[in-house]
Structure 1
């Protein structure tokens, strides 16, 4: 692994990476992105053969700095962390920018300047016209910057609708997702524990290679999601949870008098 970070990508390189990321979403092969939160996690993931792109996890970055999720971390600190990840790899990087930190357009403009070529943008179940305006702002900025930006417009219909009827959540997700696509978003992110039938309904509503999901226990297998026409699957904060679980298991083993597991790899 390199010991130093590269400089921010030049605009031409950013445009090239954006087009590459967009093509990965449009391909019939499912794009998987295991989310990262700092330079070392980015390099470890990028070095695994088959990794085509990286995605940051806002929850994981915030936690690593001691902040709660939900835009509690200062936007400057979030963008600094994202910038370091971009400069640590030559792969396209899409960033989780929550709801845009009060100014979605300007936050995305700053992110593009750092070499970010895609982002998640949460609707937080705000009134639909307000959520659509945020999408429109980001689309306009991407056009002004000349970048084929992969806006992953997120609806929290399922994530925030756990107490609602699943059919209500599905109808809400479809209405919001269609509105975001009409506003120019290339893909729609619907996080939640979805059934095979719900995924099929969303793909039918949006079209193939327009839906992105999060892989959580209980969701359909990756091969099935590819078969259904899902564009991308990410892992959110679960990748950091897996890493921290391994660390905690090491400590538990040490407390039992054990040493470093023989399965450990020297990665840095």
Structure 2
């Protein structure tokens, strides 16, 4: 398939009530393994990609290293690929669009794009983040590519007390609507775990909602019943694989005396 065909196919996988499952990867090897396991699409996790190369999350991985990883994945696997691009490695909308264009050139058909101020504190104002999304959409439209912008809010991740999440729902809905209006294709709400709040967000959002699997989050099938359009696993697969590697290595060293 052409890149445009992949982008169309990727967007079509996002259906409210019948979510696409993204088991997040971090390099070409894991991309092949997940593809062989039956994935319909692929998505990187920024934490995993950075950690696998010795960096901390938060745009500490050089953008050149990230782009090289993306190219190696798209060269190895034919499935559509979405890249966790954090805050886009830029604040200015024009510079941001230029950076996302490099991700497009590397073969990806979508990104996760978050509204927290990477390297700073808090999250961008709704109007500011909407303009940043709008710049990405203009770039993609100029290329004739139905690029999938998974607009992420960090409202819930930044509030560790889940009992307070109900009070953030109206803000999240406001952002979902604003980001969709600016050209967002999906709305990503990591950290949100309550079934009722997820259902209310899905009902109010004009675009498919992405929920990340973590402790306390219902199984993907149940999330589909709540109206979710995408389920992802974030750094979970990387952490699980590294724990297993450490366990196996320790057993080998113990047996060797």
Q: How far apart are the structure 2 equivalents of 1:186 and 1:19? A: 12
Q: How far apart are the structure 1 equivalents of 2:197 and 2:161? A: 17
3-state SS of 2:37 partner = coil
Please list the CA deviations of residues 182-230 of structure 1 after superposition, one character each: whole Å capped at 9, or x if unmatched.
11111100000411011011011114x6101111121011111111221
State the shift of 1:255 in Å.
4.2
Q: How far apart are the structure 1 equivalents of 2:215 and 2:166? A: 21
Q: What is the aligned length?
A: 245
Indicate how the Cα distance of structure 1 residues 27 and 219 shifts in structure 2: closer, same or farther if over 3 A, else same: closer
Q: How far apart are the structure 2 equivalents of 1:28 and 1:89? A: 27
Find the counterpart in structure 2 of residue 47 from structure 1: 36
5 Å-filtered alignment, 1:1-268, equals: 13-26=2-15, 28-49=17-38, 51-102=39-90, 103-124=95-116, 125-162=123-160, 165-207=164-206, 210-257=208-255
State the shift of 1:73 in Å.
1.3
- Normalised to the residue count of structure 1, the TM-score between the two structures is 0.87
Q: How far apart are the structure 2 equivalents of 1:189 and 1:167? A: 17
Please list the CA deviations of residues 156-180 of structure 1 after superposition, one character each: whole Å capped at 9, or x if unmatched.
0101122583223222211111110
Contact between 2:70 and 2:107, CA under 8 Å: does it hold in 1? no
Contact between 2:101 and 2:139, CA under 8 Å: does it hold in 1? yes
3-state SS of 1:32 partner = strand
Deviates more, 1:138-147 or 1:169-178: 169-178
State the shift of 1:251 in Å.
2.1
3-state SS of 2:2 partner = helix
* Regions of 4+ moved over 6 Å: none
Q: How far apart are the structure 1 equivalents of 2:17 and 2:193? A: 21
Contact between 2:185 and 2:208, CA under 8 Å: does it hold in 1? yes
Q: How far apart are the structure 1 equivalents of 2:138 and 2:103? A: 14
- Normalised to the residue count of structure 2, the TM-score between the two structures is 0.90
| Superposition RMSD in Å | 1.7
Gaps of at least 5 residues in structure 1 are 1-11, 259-268
